[in-house]
Amino acid sequence: MFQFTPEITLTQPWSKRYELLRLSLYALFFLGALAFAFRVFFPSRTFLFLFTGPDQNRSSIVNMRDGQDTAINNGAIKNGPLQFDVFWDEGSTVATVTFFPQSNSAPLDHSLVSVRKTYKAFIYPLSNQAAPLPEGTLLKNNQAFFIVSDGRLRKFLSSTLAESMGFNLNTFAEATDQELLLNEAGENITSATAYPNGTVFVIEGRYYRLDNQTLHQFISDKVFLASYQSAQAVPRPTSFLTQYPLSKEQFGFPSGTLLSFGISAFVVVDDQIRPFNNPRTFLAFGYDWSDIVPASEDEIGLLERAKTFDVNQPHPNGTVFASKENGTYYLILNGERREIQGAIARAVYVKHNPIIVSEESLKIKSICELSARGIFSPRYECQLPIEILNALPGNNYQFEVAVPNGAALNSTSVVFSRAINKENLKLSLLNIKAKILLNYHYAAQ
């Protein structure tokens, strides 16, 4: 045993008391270190939702809603089932779900709780319409030439007409009959002087697009090339700028683009730019560092800067998901998933690494049954084994509870934890290593 003061000799009974105190301190230190190690290597995380009270807005469980997708604020659930989301990006083996009822609540005994894990936007309903080709897309089929204008597919009266308007016929992509159906048909283009909306131009080395018969300039070549090829732009002289009104609004990077400026990373959400609150959030969304586009001050400043992009947000419009089971691509568009069909659409939308998803994540669920617990503080609780969900990509755990009519709740909690075993110890060590490397990588940028 360590002797820090060997020159001091204590008499009985102080010597025994000193030894006992010293052993107690060693034991206390050892137990404290052991408890700390358990918290580090076998972490747990508690998420709460308070239906009433002053701390209601500080809840970490989000999107509490009923079966009709209506937000629940007072705890009374009129239209089941109860649904809510928890965002958690670390592997766990058990999720303990607890409900604290109001005094007038119907009992929740034997109510089933289920959970699945995926990305929030991947839960969006799958539209029966495929992803449309974007504005300005140029197509050809059996010597017929088309342009996507105002979302519709408009046919040039002839290839000679298209060429006389300045279009490069070599930039029209060969489309199948099926690809021509991705956009509704519009009116034919018959005049060489009336350019359709969606046409892109290059004038004095600057790029423009015609929208609502008004010219909008792209703020930079980089922004233009994020959506188009330079050969697609119709070259026009400076005098062409007098033929159409010139808008003060410029085009910036499209929604879903990842940008960087300085040491910060951003994602474009429609007409806003939102910074990531930390690098862990960036990776939790399945993004790849290599897809970040360095942006200039002007390119960043064009977009309205909004609040930080955290794990409670869904992927924005323009995000592309790729199914790891069958290779299907999906485009996120206005709260829907649109399948990206055909080589042309894939070439247009899949310009960066897509977010990998699993079709199975929509089907695989863990289920448990609530039972009453407690006497002085009654509650309903059950444990969900979620180790089966760990291998699925995503950061959103979506819970669903088949609550009875008349259910009313004060609060809900979800505790994610790990079983104490060798496999989870290895997982914790790998996570710690990954966080260290992530922070080092981010600090080095």
Structural domain total, the chain: 3
Q: Give residue 184's identity as a one-letter amino acid code.
A: E
User: Does 215 share its domain with 290?
Assistant: no
Q: What is the pLDDT of residue 424?
A: 57
Q: What is the pLDDT of residue 288?
A: 93
Domain finish residue from 242, 276, 297: 242
Tell me the CA distances in angstroms from 265 to 1, 143, 244, 274, one per residue in order.
53, 45, 37, 9
Phi then psi for residue 435, to 5 deg, are -65, -40
| Tokens of residue 371, six digits | 């039972």
Give the residue numbers spanning the domain of 220: 138-242
| pTM of the model as a whole | 0.82
Q: Which residues contact 381 (CB under 8 A, 6 or more apart)?
A: 96, 97, 98, 99, 370, 371, 373
**What gap in Å lies between CA 328 and CA 323, rounded to an integer?**
5
For the chain, residues with pLDDT lower than 70 are 1-19, 30-43, 53-57, 419-445
The 10s digit of each residue's pLDDT in 169-198 is 999 999 999 999 999 999 999 999 999 999
Q: What is the pLDDT of residue 179?
A: 96
User: Does 325 share its domain with 287?
Assistant: yes
**What gap in Å lies between CA 239 and CA 196, rounded to an integer?**
19
> Is residue 54 domain-resident?
yes
> Is residue 420 domain-resident?
yes
> Is residue 369 domain-resident?
yes
> Is residue 7 domain-resident?
no
Domain finish residue from 360, 386, 414: 360
| Tokens of residue 258, six digits | 């990842």
User: Does 348 share its domain with 298?
Assistant: yes
Domain finish residue from 211, 242, 273: 242
> Is residue 380 domain-resident?
yes
Q: Give residue 215's identity as a one-letter amino acid code.
A: L
